């Protein structure tokens, strides 16, 4: 469980992403997804910068839980909607492949003890994958989806995402 400093940093990064989403014209689920990216991104950076087993043991379970729930929500509630449109079907298919890569990268980290010499580099590969995925979603996928779906549908997708994420 993150301590108060990590929680604060995570919330600040989430708020920054929320503001960035607003400036990009994103609403509803897309704005919320960017906020989640910021929150987990702060934790990823903190763990990636540390070789302390205690930091890893304290924060990785939260990171793992958040990443998997976030992806589950996207895969169940968001990307199937985008798959229905010719303009975004490629995006949905690409996201599906990336979600599988993310799960494999998480499994690779899960297979190692926090003291294993390869834990840091393996976690670093997960961080790179997440950062690349986030950059693509925020710069390409979300703006295109927002444009196609509009504010009303983007807003309507948010409770569906939350239900899928926690289901």
Report the pLDDT value the prediction gives residue 117, as an integer from 0 to 100: 96
Average pLDDT taken over every residue of the chain: 90
* Higher per-residue pLDDT: 6 or 143: 143
List the Cα angle 105/107/108 in 5-degree steps. 65
Quick: pLDDT tens for 84-143: 999 999 999 999 999 999 999 999 999 999 999 999 999 999 999 999 999 999 999 999
List the Cα angle 32/36/41 in 5-degree steps. 150
DSSP 105-119: HHHHHHTS-TT-TTH
Quote the CA–CA distance of 41 and 36 in Å, as a whole number: 8
């Amino acid at each position: 469980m993150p301590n108060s400093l990590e929680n604060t940093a995570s919330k600040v990064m989430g708020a920054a992403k929320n503001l960035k989403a607003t400036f990009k014209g994103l609403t509803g689920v897309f704005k919320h997804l960017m906020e989640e990216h910021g929150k987990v991104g702060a934790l990823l950076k903190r763990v990636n910068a540390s070789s302390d087993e205690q930091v890893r043991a304290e924060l990785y379970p939260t990171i793992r839980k958040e990443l998997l729930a976030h992806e589950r929500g996207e895969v169940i509630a968001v990307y199937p909607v985008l798959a229905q449109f010719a303009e975004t079907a490629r995006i949905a298919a690409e996201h599906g492949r990336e979600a599988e890569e993310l799960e494999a990268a998480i499994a690779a980290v899960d297979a190692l003890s926090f003291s294993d010499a390869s834990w840091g580099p393996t976690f670093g590969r997960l961080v790179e994958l997440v950062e690349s995925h986030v950059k693509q979603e925020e710069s390409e996928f979300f703006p295109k989806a927002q444009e196609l779906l509009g504010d009303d549908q983007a807003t309507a997708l948010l409770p569906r995402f939350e239900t899928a994420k926690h289901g």
